[in-house]
Chains A and B, each alone.
Chain A
Amino acid sequence: MDTTRRGFLGAIGQVTIGAAASVAGAGQSASAAEGEHVPHWGMVVDLRKCIGCQACTVACIMENAVPEDAFRTHVSVYELVKDGKDPAMVMLPRLCNHCDDPPCLPVCPVEATFKAENGEVLVDASKCVGCAYCVQACPYDARFINHETQVADKCTFCFHRTQAGLLPACVETCVGGARNFGDLNDPESEVSKMLRDNEVSVLRPEMHTNPNVYYIGLDDVLDGRVAGEAAYHPEMAASVQHHGEGL
């Protein structure tokens, strides 16, 4: 499957037709479904191409009505100084890793979190009790409690878009082509080729979650908890208000 819109649409069309046919004829032949190709969605983020424009962040918010105080995806930006040399700006898009062994899944007390057929880790919002156990269990800080819906919320790989044959909004809008999305089960897909042709990393490999989001060009110091000076200083919040422009 191709990461480009045309290739993606073509492939998803075949899958959708196949799925519809198998649903329609489910009672007739189980063996027909066995040979059917089931995509396994994944993302390859080429950090060499990310410019930190946050277009993906904004697109995701607009597409998924993410509330103001949360993100389903965003781009962390770091300044790295190695051996006192000139600082380098490094971008790191973050999102749910749609792990094959997601720690958020077994902890859910009511089975609201589940792994979809194509590998997406999803939340059944009608079932979620908002206990936030999954938020605690996610090693990527990729989940949050949506304060408007009061249930667990996260990236869905834009499930509603992929079902309609579209790319996830963050991929669609990525200016530099850093975000690549496709079928990891298809050896001819662009993402599969990228995984073959490049050295890739995942975030927090020590957690053994088998993520489906891969990074090209990820510095080791950024693949886990980043030990550095934080951008956010909570004690500053009040003082900022006090030092406004005096309106």
Chain B
Amino acid sequence: MEIQVHELVGAVHDAAWQPWAVQYFFLIAISVTALLMALPAFVFGKTTDLRAARLALMVAVTTGITAPIALLADLHQPFRFWEFFVYTHKSSWMAWGAWIVPSYVGLLLLFAWSIHRPEFHRMGQDDWRFAWLFRLFSLGGASNGFTRPLGMLAGIAALGILTYTGSEVMVVRARPLWNTPFLPLQFAATGFVGALGVMLVLERSLCRDGTLEATLNHRLALALAVVGGLGIAWFAVALSGISPVHSEALASVAGFPVWKEIALWGAASVAIPFVLALALPRNTGLITGLIAIHAAWMFRWTVFMGGQAVPKVGSGLYDALMPTGITGLMGVIGTFGLWVFLMIVYTTFVPWTDATPPAHSQPHPAPARS
């Protein structure tokens, strides 16, 4: 029987998770993946990777501070945040996240501090205007033997973040686009893409080292290959029908031209930097980095705002995909602005170019500055 349905009267639902939520998931994924890329050098002593690790640590710290602020901004009752810790509901991934996020940020900051502590101490001994500040930062000492355990704990917390952020969204059965086992993997893979993108842009801005640029571009190509592979697998599983949830996810958006444009745009955002990074690993870092950042951000925007644009019971699409108005825009601009501010503070006050692993984890001494 052929049935045509025209909705004559229907309610429209606003997106309940605003652009701040997109910013949170974007920034926290970048932070944790950047930290994971910093660990080999700073925890396991792989000093050949030290220059990339310094960038990674800087990215992890600055985005790691910005992300929870974006999350708090998305809460409609931000002053009730303490209730997360008083009334923890064990069946809710968000409740677990409320414990994991501060643990991660705290361990990340302690880890970064311990790496820089010897340099803070040295700068505190010099005779200059801000010496008092660095004496304060170093807490009167230079030892940092606890860096490795702190790094390992921060790494475990980072894995916890990847697990909880992916699961929190994946378990929402009411939104087919979110309810796929691929989603946590896609969040993680695009997180690496975003982190490498930021590192490439920073490398072009702060270091301008062709060798480092090529290294980061090769890693970006690898991460993009994983993202592309996951995307192809997602479509293959959805089209094959072997996984009903994937088929439902595809069916929920397949009929809309705007989603076909999004899919093509997303594919281009992965393919173009992939080809550039492989074919021209030098002197393309700025463009591959920016496109990679765009790809990681766009993936989350599409998942969150696009996912909320798909009605659960009504017809057509809501307008959440492209919300108008200054509120949503301010969420995006505000969090990026905060990150830029933190970058300025970090590069001004933290001797990041001198960051080295603790002495006992340095099998191969490397030059301090790149």
Q: Give chain A's interface residues, CB within 8 Å of chain B.
A: 52, 54, 69, 71, 74-84, 87, 89, 94, 103, 106-112, 127-133, 135-141, 144-145, 150-151, 203-204, 207, 221-222, 224-234, 237
Q: Which residues 129-163 of B have a CB within 8 angstroms of A?
A: none
Shortest CB distance A162–B (Å)? 24
When distances are taken between beta carbons in the complex, the residues of chain B under 8 Å from A79 are: 5-6, 8
Contact of A231 among B10, B77, B93 (CB under 8 A): B10
Q: Which of B84-92, B289-297, B332-340, B341-349 contacts A (4 or more CB under 8 A)?
A: B84-92
When distances are taken between beta carbons in the complex, the residues of chain B under 8 Å from A137 are: 172-174
Contact of A106 among B14, B91, B311, B314 (CB under 8 A): B91
Q: Is the CB of A131 within 8 A of B89?
A: no
A94→B74 CA distance, assembly (Å): 28
User: Is B287's CB within 8 Å of the partner chain A?
Assistant: no
When distances are taken between beta carbons in the complex, the residues of chain B under 8 Å from A108 are: 89, 92
Q: Give chain B's interface residues, CB within 8 Å of chain A.
A: 1-14, 16-17, 74-77, 80-81, 83-84, 86-89, 91-95, 97-98, 168, 171-175, 178, 252, 255, 308, 310-319
Shortest CB distance A116–B (Å)? 17
Q: Is the CB of B76 within 8 A of A131?
A: yes
> Which residue of A has the minimal Cβ distance to B71?
A131
Q: Is the CB of B6 within 8 A of A78?
A: yes
Q: Is the CB of A106 within 8 A of B92?
A: yes
Say yes or no: A150-B77 contact (C-beta < 8 A), given A203-B313, A204-B313, A232-B10.
yes
Say yes or no: A151-B76 contact (C-beta < 8 A), given A144-B16, A229-B7.
yes
Q: Is the CB of A144 within 8 A of B89?
A: no
Give the most central of B13, B77, B314: most A CB within 10 Å: B77
A136→B176 CA distance, assembly (Å): 11
When distances are taken between beta carbons in the complex, the residues of chain A under 8 Å from B312 are: 138-141, 225
A132→B78 CA distance, assembly (Å): 12
Q: Is the CB of B171 within 8 A of A107?
A: yes
A103→B94 CA distance, assembly (Å): 14
Say yes or no: A138-B7 contact (C-beta < 8 A), given A110-B95, A127-B83, A230-B317.
no
Q: Is the CB of B2 within 8 A of A71?
A: no
The 8 closest A-B pairs by CB, nearest first: A230-B316, A130-B76, A228-B5, A234-B319, A132-B16, A77-B9, A109-B95, A106-B91
Q: Is the CB of B88 within 8 A of A109?
A: yes
When distances are taken between beta carbons in the complex, the residues of chain B under 8 Å from A133 are: 92, 94, 168
Say yes or no: A129-B81 contact (C-beta < 8 A), given A103-B173, A226-B314.
yes
A21→B262 CA distance, assembly (Å): 62
Say yes or no: A80-B76 contact (C-beta < 8 A), given A107-B94, A137-B172.
no
A122→B4 CA distance, assembly (Å): 37
Q: Is the CB of A141 within 8 A of B77?
A: no
Say yes or no: A207-B173 contact (C-beta < 8 A), given A129-B77, A230-B315.
yes
Q: Is the CB of A231 within 8 A of B174?
A: no
> Which residue of B has the minimal Cβ distance to A134?
B16
Shortest CB distance A18–B (Å)? 31
Q: Is the CB of A226 within 8 A of B5?
A: yes
When distances are taken between beta carbons in the complex, the residues of chain A under 8 Å from B314 are: 76, 141, 225-226, 230
Q: Is the CB of A78 within 8 A of B17?
A: no
A233→B319 CA distance, assembly (Å): 8
When distances are taken between beta carbons in the complex, the residues of chain B under 8 Å from A106 are: 89, 91-92
Contact of A80 among B5, B16, B168, B313 (CB under 8 A): B5
Contact of A227 among B5, B92, B308 (CB under 8 A): B5
A157→B17 CA distance, assembly (Å): 26
Q: Is the CB of A129 within 8 A of B4?
A: no
When distances are taken between beta carbons in the complex, the residues of chain B under 8 Å from A69 are: 14
When distances are taken between beta carbons in the complex, the residues of chain B under 8 Å from A237 are: 319
A74→B350 CA distance, assembly (Å): 57
Q: Is the CB of B313 within 8 A of A225?
A: yes
18 A–B contacts from the bound complex (CB under 8 Å): A76-B313, A80-B5, A81-B6, A106-B89, A107-B94, A108-B92, A109-B95, A109-B97, A110-B86, A132-B16, A138-B312, A151-B77, A225-B311, A225-B315, A226-B314, A228-B7, A229-B7, A229-B315
> Which residue of A has the minimal Cβ distance to B4?
A81
Q: Is the CB of A110 within 8 A of B6?
A: no
When distances are taken between beta carbons in the complex, the residues of chain B under 8 Å from A130 are: 75-77, 80
In the complex, besides A107-B94, A127-B80, A132-B17, 7 extra interface pairs with C-beta distance below 8 angstroms are A103-B173, A131-B94, A132-B76, A136-B308, A140-B312, A227-B5, A231-B9
Give the most central of B9, B84, B86, B97: most A CB within 10 Å: B9
Shortest CB distance B97–A (Å)? 8
> Which residue of A has the minimal Cβ distance to B81?
A129
Contact of B84 among A74, A109, A234 (CB under 8 A): A109
Q: Is the CB of A109 within 8 A of B94?
A: yes
When distances are taken between beta carbons in the complex, the residues of chain A under 8 Å from B316 are: 228-233
Q: Is the CB of A109 within 8 A of B89?
A: yes
A216→B168 CA distance, assembly (Å): 36
Give the most central of A76, A129, A226, A227: most B CB within 10 Å: A129
Shortest CB distance A163–B (Å)? 25
